[in-house]
Amino acid sequence: MKRLAAILGMVLGLVCTSAMAGVVQVNLNQTLPNEGYSTVSIDGDATADIGLAASILDANYTFLYGAGLPASWSYSWLNQGQVVDSSLTWTNGGAGYTTTAAPVTPGLNYLAVRNTSIGNYYGYITLDFQEPSYQNYAGGYTQTLVSYTYDNTGGAVTVGAVPVPATLALLGLGFVGMGVSRRKQD
Q: How many residues does the chain have?
A: 186
Give 20 or 52, the one with higher predicted confidence. 52
What DSSP letter does each residue of 106-175 carry, written as one string?
A: SEEEEEEEE-BTTBS--EEEEEEEEEE-TT-TT--EEEEEEEEEEETTS--EETT----HHHHHHHHHHH
- With 70 as the cut, is the pLDDT of residue 174 above it? no
pLDDT band at 15 (very low <50, low <70, confident <90, very high): very low
First to last CA, the chain: 12
The model's pLDDT over 86-121, given as tens digits with 9 standing for 90+, comes to 998 888 777 555 666 565 677 888 989 988 889 889
User: Domains of the chain: which residue ranges?
Assistant: 1-20+164-186, 29-162
The model's pLDDT over 120-170, given as tens digits with 9 standing for 90+, comes to 899 999 999 887 655 545 556 788 999 999 999 999 999 986 655 544 555
Handedness of CA 146, 105, 100, 73 (dihedral sign): positive
- Cross-strand partners of 114: 72
Q: What is the pLDDT of residue 42?
A: 92
Q: What is the pLDDT of residue 8?
A: 47
The model's pLDDT over 33-80, given as tens digits with 9 standing for 90+, comes to 877 888 999 988 999 999 888 876 666 678 888 888 888 888 778 889
